[in-house]
Structure 1
Amino acid sequence: MSTTQSERLRELLEPLVTSEGLDLEEIAVDSVGRKRVLRVVVDSDTGADLDAIADVSRALSAKLDETDAMGDQAYDLEVGTPGAERLLTEPRHYRRAVDRLVKFQLADGEELVARILGVDDEGLDLEVPGVKGRKAKERRLAFPEIAKARVQVEFNRKDKKDMKEEEEA
């Protein structure tokens, strides 16, 4: 897909996504056999439930039908949310990942796995897990120090409610 088409699609669709209270995170056009698939990824600070995704999907479909942004060739529209192990690229992505475990590749080549405790305009406050029974440490990371960051899936993590119940028992 050319940059021009991508920019046109973003300009066309972003106001509709925003009007539904969501952020347009990604647009991709892929060829699948003879058909094309337009994938639109949306999200918000509170997440996007199925009703919100259905509403924005209908709005996008109607807008695309009334324009020639996708040309005359058939295509499928897929609207969804970012995956569980999403790449964090914008400050809002980090805000949405507070309390989540994240794997960081730092600009100096260091690799770090830590839990995001807080986010502000300059960077992140992290909790770095202790090694071999040592206590966890807090660390500050500025956004320019981060080359790449991805949320990690945790299967055995207890949420705050579970930890409170254990403390009270």
Structure 2
Amino acid sequence: MSPRADATRDRIEAELEAPLRALGLDLEAVELSSAGKRRVLRVAVDQDGGVTHDDLVEAEHRVSEVLDSSDVMGQQPYTLEVTSRGVDRPLTLPRHWRRNHDRLVRVTRTDGSALTGRVAGSDEDPGGAVRLETDGGPVEVPYADVGKALVQVEFNRRNAPDEEDA
């Protein structure tokens, strides 16, 4: 991405963060790409408990209002997409770990070693760690040692303790 595109993305993030927070949403990602003569602006949001379709519709309206009242997108036409964070995005912040409690994750450490386990707990402090239940027992991984972490999609996921009777 060019320095100009980075600056535009950073400016968009700055414009959107407070209005989305007012809706109870965290701004997770802003991606600006070209699609022919148009640009595509993708805004990913999340919140504790996940986002609903209604949350996304409300967020799209708010984002559209903010962009329409600002010159941040310039005069070139663009398509706006507001989406949830999705399971394919890496876990990079303490809130990502908290929101994925009891989910199966694959962690690649900064030293290149990898492990798969279920998120058993996590610290809110960015200097903290995540605790995983692995087949070999509990493992604590400091956030600083996490190179990449992704939620693993489970088609036959075991029931979480609070889902036993659901």
- Per the TM alignment, residue 162 of structure 1 is displaced from its structure 2 partner at its CA by 9.2
Q: Deviations over 1:58-89 (max 9, x none)?
A: 01101111111101111111000122232101
Residue 131 of structure 2 is aligned to residue 125 of structure 1: yes
Q: Deviations over 1:83-110 (max 9, x none)?
A: 2232101111111111011111111211
> What's the secondary structure of 2:43's corresponding residue?
strand
Q: CA RMSD in A?
A: 1.6
Work out whether residues 87 and 150 of structure 2, in 8 Å CA contact, stay in contact via their aligned partners in 1.
Answer: no
- Per the TM alignment, residue 127 of structure 1 is displaced from its structure 2 partner at its CA by 0.5
Distance in 2, matches of 1:40 and 1:85, equals 15
Distance in 1, matches of 2:33 and 2:67, equals 16
Distance in 2, matches of 1:11 and 1:164, equals 42
Instruction: Specify the alignment match of 1:137 in structure 2.
Output: 137
152-161 vs 24-33, which deviates more?
Answer: 152-161
Instruction: Specify the alignment match of 1:133 in structure 2.
Output: none
Distance in 2, matches of 1:42 and 1:143, equals 22
Instruction: Specify the alignment match of 2:26 in structure 1.
Output: 23
Give the partner amino acid of 2:98: R
Distance in 1, matches of 2:162 and 2:119, equals 19
Work out whether residues 102 and 160 of structure 2, in 8 Å CA contact, stay in contact via their aligned partners in 1.
Answer: no
Scaled by the length of structure 1, the TM-score of the pair is 0.88
Pairs aligned (count): 159
Distance in 2, matches of 1:49 and 1:91, equals 22
Instruction: Specify the alignment match of 2:160 in structure 1.
Output: 160
Q: Structure 2 regions of 5+ residues with no counterpart?
A: none
62-71 vs 156-165, which deviates more?
Answer: 156-165
Find runs of 4+ consecutive structure 1 residues off by over 6 angstroms.
Answer: none
Q: Deviations over 1:111-155 (max 9, x none)?
A: 1111110111311111112xxxxxx51111111111111110011
Distance in 2, matches of 1:162 and 1:58, equals 34
Scaled by the length of structure 2, the TM-score of the pair is 0.90
Work out whether residues 22 and 43 of structure 1, in 8 Å CA contact, stay in contact via their aligned partners in 2.
Answer: yes
Work out whether residues 40 and 81 of structure 2, in 8 Å CA contact, stay in contact via their aligned partners in 1.
Answer: yes
Distance in 2, matches of 1:109 and 1:160, equals 30
- Per the TM alignment, residue 37 of structure 1 is displaced from its structure 2 partner at its CA by 0.8
- Per the TM alignment, residue 41 of structure 1 is displaced from its structure 2 partner at its CA by 0.2
Percent pairwise identity: 40
Instruction: Specify the alignment match of 2:82 in structure 1.
Output: 79
